[in-house]
A and B are shown apart, each in its own frame.
Chain A
């Protein structure tokens, strides 16, 4: 097996491309620009969730919660705590903004990673549906806590966040997330995540510390969700706790399932596709020549989402890019047929 530096080169190229594209962002229609930013943020969210749900097989429904923590933490840091750094660097210039935004995103990611650690611990004892419910509850707790924290605006939301997010930051983070997930999984160490998904008992029997892998998956997944939250907050410049409800978690899960659990390329593709679909539905809802019923369905995204998901489960249960043959009819276990030969060496 040969190892080349393809992944690092791809990461570098992606970051440079993002930087170049960022130069021209001024000439893009602001609405389109925002959609493009949302696409990048959703790619980050979906690929990071894919590490937890797809590769490690832990069904988490709490990604919106991690994102909310990252969004609020970074918004708070950049709004309240950055004045001193700006002063030290001689006011707001390109360099000081870049430095502060990097730190702020990191802060949001770390805050979310800590939350991931806290949620990772119960996940050690819970499986499947039970874990899904716990993570769902966790996400809601975060939302309610924020709603009742006056320092960040409570139910009124947090406004006046600087619009630091650019094409560069969004796509550099998306590229980094994809790089981290892919390079990790493609290693002897990273194969451990897949063994946890496949068979925990067998994984333990060959010396894999499943506990550590699960917590690592949660912490890393949450970290990138937190960074994505920071990007989101500095895109919209206004965040509201109700924006991070469990519908958002479900949306991210749908991206993962649509793309194919455990396929980073598929999940990133699905994130792009679904973000575009959601935006396009806004226009569909506004087309007056369409029948009223169609427009109403279009204006309610969840109906479309559900339909997409049902169609997918019927037609391609392993997801668009997924290669797992076992999601449809349960695990594919070979029947105990007598094998042809057991060759002795």
Chain B
């Protein structure tokens, strides 16, 4: 399998605080990779350097062989990396349809002038976009909400919407930031199915940050564990679960019970 994303010796410092230290990560094409770690370990920071929200203090990030560190988020989205957010970020005043449509902006051939002149090519492209949006909404069973304002959807549907919107940019790599946050066990089951489905249908790689061990262990083929900005383990779910360093990071060290 070909290498898709590679982070080499990435360090992020905020003033004196080192959020991520010399972090290495490789994501292959069609990979389903998980990134876990206790609160404040630097997981979201890693997402933010991959997607261009922050620039790594040092180290390199390459995507499909080309460096992407320092590009603006919209340019990185154009390269084929899409993401969702820990706290859902949809466009609340736009309809479900328009939320997904907005993501097609990236691939528009015709822009301002065509929108004003409304020549036949404009209508062709708009119809084409509309068709693709419908298809996408159909696949994820969101078409019945197409003309509802996004803010009116249920929490679970909003989470799904965010994934659909990310897919609309036609990514090679999908980053999911705590997709299971706030979900009940049944919804989590469905989410796992959804992620597996997306990966298979669109043949993309998925990198996810997640707190929920059941979700991570259940679907990830490979897991990297982060603690205090340092990668402490990487491997299959089974290997990671047995790794003493991971157990220590999550549960603490085994010490004799204090004498009363």
Whether A and B are associated in the same complex: the answer reads yes
Which A residues are within 8 Å of any B CB, using their own CB?
A: 1, 3, 5, 7-8, 180, 183-184, 187-192, 194-195, 197-199, 201-210, 216, 262, 324-326, 331-334, 336-345
| Chain B, interface SS category | helix
Chain B residues, Cβ within 8 Å of A198: 90-94
Chain B residues, Cβ within 8 Å of A345: 139-141, 194, 197
A188 with B123, Cβ < 8 A, contacts A342-B194, A344-B197 known = no
Which of B52, B126, B186 neighbours the largest number of chain A CB atoms within 10 Å of its CB? B126
Q: Which residues of chain B from 35 to 67 have any CB-CB distance to chain A below 8 Å in the complex?
A: 51-53
| A194/B91 in contact, CB under 8 A | yes
Q: Which residues of chain B from 105 to 120 have any CB-CB distance to chain A below 8 Å in the complex?
A: 105-106, 108, 110-112, 114-116, 118
| A189/B94 in contact, CB under 8 A | no
B82 in the interface (beta carbon within 8 A): yes
Instruction: Give the CA-CA distance A208 to B112 in the complex, in Å.
Output: 14
Chain B residues, Cβ within 8 Å of A188: 101-102, 104-105, 108, 125-126, 129
B214 in the interface (beta carbon within 8 A): no
Instruction: Give the CA-CA distance A281 to B108 in the complex, in Å.
Output: 50
Q: In the complex, how many angstroms separate the beta carbon of B133 from the nearest chain A beta carbon?
A: 9
Instruction: Give the CA-CA distance A209 to B127 in the complex, in Å.
Output: 23
A192 with B102, Cβ < 8 A, contacts A184-B116, A204-B72, A205-B77 known = yes
A332 with B92, Cβ < 8 A, contacts A190-B115, A194-B98, A342-B191 known = yes
| B91/A205 in contact, CB under 8 A | no
B89 in the interface (beta carbon within 8 A): yes
Contact among B105, B166, B190 with A189 in the assembled complex (CB-CB below 8 Å): B105
| B78/A207 in contact, CB under 8 A | yes
Chain B residues, Cβ within 8 Å of A180: 116
B218 in the interface (beta carbon within 8 A): no
Sort chain B's interface into a size bin: 35 or more
| A209/B112 in contact, CB under 8 A | no
B222 in the interface (beta carbon within 8 A): no
A3 with B151, Cβ < 8 A, contacts A188-B108, A342-B159 known = no
Chain A residues, Cβ within 8 Å of B168: 206
Chain B residues, Cβ within 8 Å of A331: 92
Instruction: Give the CA-CA distance A202 to B84 in the complex, in Å.
Output: 9
B158 in the interface (beta carbon within 8 A): yes
Q: In the complex, how many angstroms separate the beta carbon of A166 from the nearest chain B beta carbon?
A: 25
Which of B94, B112, B139 neighbours the largest number of chain A CB atoms within 10 Å of its CB? B112
B153 in the interface (beta carbon within 8 A): yes
Q: Which residue of B lies closest to A57 (CB)?
A: B93
Instruction: Give the CA-CA distance A342 to B141 in the complex, in Å.
Output: 9
**9 intermolecular pairs with C-beta atoms under 8 Å apart:** A1-B127, A198-B91, A205-B82, A205-B89, A339-B158, A341-B156, A341-B186, A342-B156, A342-B157
Given contacts A189-B114, A198-B90, A198-B93, 18 further A-B contacts (CB under 8 A): A1-B130, A3-B127, A183-B118, A184-B112, A184-B115, A189-B115, A198-B91, A201-B53, A205-B82, A205-B83, A207-B77, A209-B72, A334-B154, A338-B184, A339-B156, A341-B187, A341-B190, A345-B197
| Chain A, interface SS category | loop
B193 in the interface (beta carbon within 8 A): yes
Q: In the complex, how many angstroms separate the beta carbon of B198 from the nearest chain A beta carbon?
A: 9
| A8/B118 in contact, CB under 8 A | yes
| A207/B153 in contact, CB under 8 A | no
Q: Which residue of A lies closest to B184 (CB)?
A: A338
Q: In the complex, how many angstroms separate the beta carbon of A199 from the nearest chain B beta carbon?
A: 5
A195 with B102, Cβ < 8 A, contacts A336-B182, A339-B155, A342-B159 known = yes
- The 5 lowest CB-CB distance pairs between A and B, nearest first, are A339-B156, A207-B106, A339-B154, A207-B77, A198-B91
| A336/B92 in contact, CB under 8 A | no
B70 in the interface (beta carbon within 8 A): no
B103 in the interface (beta carbon within 8 A): yes
Chain B residues, Cβ within 8 Å of A191: 94, 98, 101-102, 105
Q: In the complex, how many angstroms separate the beta carbon of B123 from the nearest chain A beta carbon?
A: 5
Q: In the complex, how many angstroms separate the beta carbon of A297 from the nearest chain B beta carbon?
A: 37
| A194/B151 in contact, CB under 8 A | no
Per-residue 0/1 for B187-227: is the Cβ within 8 Å of any A Cβ (1 yes, 0 no)? Answer: 10011011001000000000000000000000000000000
| B126/A1 in contact, CB under 8 A | yes
| B151/A216 in contact, CB under 8 A | no
A206 with B166, Cβ < 8 A, contacts A189-B111, A191-B94 known = yes
A5 with B118, Cβ < 8 A, contacts A194-B91, A199-B90, A206-B165 known = yes
| B183/A338 in contact, CB under 8 A | yes
Q: In the complex, how many angstroms separate the beta carbon of A120 from the nearest chain B beta carbon?
A: 15
Instruction: Give the CA-CA distance A7 to B141 in the complex, in Å.
Output: 33
Instruction: Give the CA-CA distance A338 to B106 in the complex, in Å.
Output: 33
